[in-house]
């Protein structure tokens, strides 16, 4: 990774850290009494129920921990929720408390080397939402490679991604473009945009791609966001 991209990535982590600080001050979770409402789409409830009978699931890049809380409520025994930024973990910790999920979720602030030090075949499930496509390619590839190692053979992985932004077409959302498919807003790296087929072939290097489901966030008119169902190869 060149120095410019390293700096851009570091700035994006600062951006996420500030975003979660603001969120924890707004107490946004406290308006959501029902854990099911934490999912940006009902399709997540269906996707995450794949982990209902799991013993150990990793929620990698957990943000405020909404996915972990849903998995805990769906019956998953133990969830490790980790993120690189402090305010995300602070927010996860207070949300775990709010939803009485302390027994099944362990949230920790990690560093960039944490995943490669995790035990091989430790987890029987892996969830990663909007992380793989907001980080530089080299980081994303490392996460996928290590995910394939730390997850037991035949386990399920759910990877959620943003929409594909076709940079050849006009967009209503203002953005700056670098390196062909790196999308910046106000100077902050926000997304690395790829088609469904491109992601499919990236995931296929390590996993069997079982299914791709499109969904939308509340208020979005079209289902363009992506939920990849993957299975770790034997
Ligand atoms: C768009 S947010 C998504 C958060 C959450 N998963 C969700 O779906 O709401 C991206 C998150 O990935 C985290 N992140 C970025 N790089 C990471 C890495 N290498 N390892 C773990 N987390 C990372 C950021 O700190 C941020 O919390």
Residue 145 domain flag = yes
Cβ-Cβ contacts under 8 Å for 162 (sequence gap 6 or more): 130, 133, 134, 191, 193, 225, 226
Say if CB 84 and CB 114 are below 8 A apart: no
CA of 228 to the centre of ligand 1 (A): 17
Does 162 sit in the ligand 1 pocket, CB within 6 Å? no
How many Cβ atoms sit within 10 Å of the Cβ of residue 46?
A: 13
Does 140 sit in the ligand 1 pocket, CB within 6 Å? no
pLDDT at residue 27 greater than cutoff 70: no
Q: How far apart are CA 165 and CA 224, in angstroms?
A: 10
Residue 190 domain flag = yes
Domain with residue 21: its CATH number is 3.40.50.150
First-residue to last-residue Cα distance in the chain: 31
Mean pLDDT of the chain: 94
Say if CB 109 and CB 90 are below 8 A apart: no
The arithmetic mean of pLDDT across residues 93-99, rounded, is 92
Does 159 sit in the ligand 1 pocket, CB within 6 Å? no
Residue 224 domain flag = yes
Q: 161-214 pLDDT, tens per residue?
A: 999 999 988 888 889 999 999 999 999 999 999 999 999 999 999 999 999 999
Residue 92 domain flag = yes
Q: How confident is the model at residue 152 (pLDDT cuts 50, 70, 90)?
A: very high
CA of 131 to the centre of ligand 1 (A): 5
pLDDT at residue 25 greater than cutoff 80: no
Domain range for 210 is 3-25+54-232
Among candidates 75, 107, 79, 76, which has minimal Cα distance to 94? 107
Residue 47 domain flag = no
Nearest CA to ligand 1 atom 5: 63
Q: 28-59 pLDDT, tens per residue?
A: 566 667 899 999 999 999 999 999 999 999 99
Residue 204 domain flag = yes
Residue 46 domain flag = no
């Amino acid at each position: 990774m060149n120095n410019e991209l390293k700096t851009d990535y570091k700035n994006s982590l600062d951006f996420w850290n500030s975003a979660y600080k603001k969120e924890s001050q707004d107490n946004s979770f406290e308006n959501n009494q029902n854990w099911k409402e934490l999912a940006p789409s009902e399709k997540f409830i269906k996707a995450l129920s794949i982990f209902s009978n799991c013993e150990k699931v990793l929620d990698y890049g957990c943000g405020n921990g909404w996915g972990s809380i849903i998995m805990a409520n769906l019956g998953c025994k133990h969830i490790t929720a980790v993120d690189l930024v402090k305010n995300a973990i602070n927010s996860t910790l207070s949300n775990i408390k709010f939803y009485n999920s302390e027994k099944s979720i362990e949230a920790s602030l990690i560093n960039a080397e944490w995943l490669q030090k995790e035990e091989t075949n430790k987890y029987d499930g892996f969830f990663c939402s909007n992380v793989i496509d907001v980080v530089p390619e080299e980081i994303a590839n490392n996460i996928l490679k290590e995910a394939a190692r730390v997850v037991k053979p035949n386990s399920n992985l759910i990877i959620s991604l943003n929409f594909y932004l076709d940079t050849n077409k006009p967009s209503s959302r203002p953005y700056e473009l670098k390196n062909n498919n790196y999308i910046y807003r106000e100077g902050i790296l926000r997304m690395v945009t790829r088609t469904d087929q491109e992601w499919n072939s990236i995931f296929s290097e390590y996993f069997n791609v079982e299914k791709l489901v499109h969904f939308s966030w509340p208020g979005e008119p079209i289902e363009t966001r992506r939920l990849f169902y993957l299975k770790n190869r034997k």
